[in-house]
Amino acid sequence: MTEFWESSFIEKQTMWGFVPSDSAILTKDFFLEKNVKDILIPGFGYGRNAKVFIDHGIDVTGIEISKTAIGLARDNGLTMPIHHGSVADMPFDDKLYDGIFSYALIHLLNEREREKFIQSCYNQLKPNGYMIFTSISKEAPMYGKGKRLGKDYFEIMDGVKMYFYDSDSIKQEFEEYGLIEISEIVEPHKDDETKPPFTFSMIKCQKK
């Protein structure tokens, strides 16, 4: 899996540039409304979604498994702390954050990994802090494609395994972690609007 992402990051930089996802823009607006000052982004990538927070005065720390992606972030002038490693090995610091934003990562994990990831994120939130995840939805056109590995879990192409959420599975996995809102967002391919969009669930939790 790591090799797949390593080999595709150069292409992703060319494809996306630093145009943030709609999910990141909405999360930025929400964090500003809630006076969130300091966030953690697991699955940082090369910083495409980080820049929108930085540009609005929010401090960012990243976690990223790909050295290639971290190098691209540095080449593009992003100097914030980025921990190199897997989200499976969280925490990388003993800091508590006002907010956590994870874009299109959690559905790439298996059940055990997802459970640990959610718990690890929750543990690094300050009291009353917020965590927001975007995850692929069963409404996405690729749902059910490829090799079935389990309930709503498919290998959609070589080395790419995805778990597809619906409202019931979101409640099952997130309810004990302060789930406050589930919404759907359709993310366009900003490089090519002729491509079918991604259908994501936005999962919002608050630590009480």
Q: Is the pLDDT of residue 57 over 90?
A: yes
Q: Cα–Cα distance between 16 and 131 in angstroms, integer?
A: 24
Q: Contact 199/118 with Cβ under 8 angstroms?
A: no
Is position 156 within any domain? Answer: no
Is position 153 within any domain? Answer: no
Per-residue confidence band for 10, with pLDDT thresholds at 50, 70 and 90: very low
- Domain enclosing residue 126, as ranges: 2-138+166-206
Mean predicted lDDT score pLDDT of the chain: 90
What are the DSSP calls for 48-111, one per residue? Answer: TTTHHHHTTT-EEEEEES-HHHHHHHHHTT--S-EEES-GGG--SSS--EEEEEEES-GGGS-H
Is position 144 within any domain? Answer: no
Note the pLDDT of residue 41. Answer: 98
Note the pLDDT of residue 146. Answer: 93
Is position 158 within any domain? Answer: no
Return the CATH number at 58. Answer: 3.40.50.150
48: tokens are 């495409």
pTM of the complete model? 0.89
Alpha-carbon torsion, ordered 50, 52, 58, 59, to 10 deg: 30
Note the pLDDT of residue 18. Answer: 73
- What's the whole-number mean pLDDT along residues 164-181? 97
Q: Is the pLDDT of residue 2 over 50?
A: no
Q: Contact 55/18 with Cβ under 8 angstroms?
A: no
Q: Is the pLDDT of residue 144 over 50?
A: yes
Is position 161 within any domain? Answer: no
Specify the 3-state DSSP secondary structure of 181. strand
pLDDT higher at 188 or 150: 150
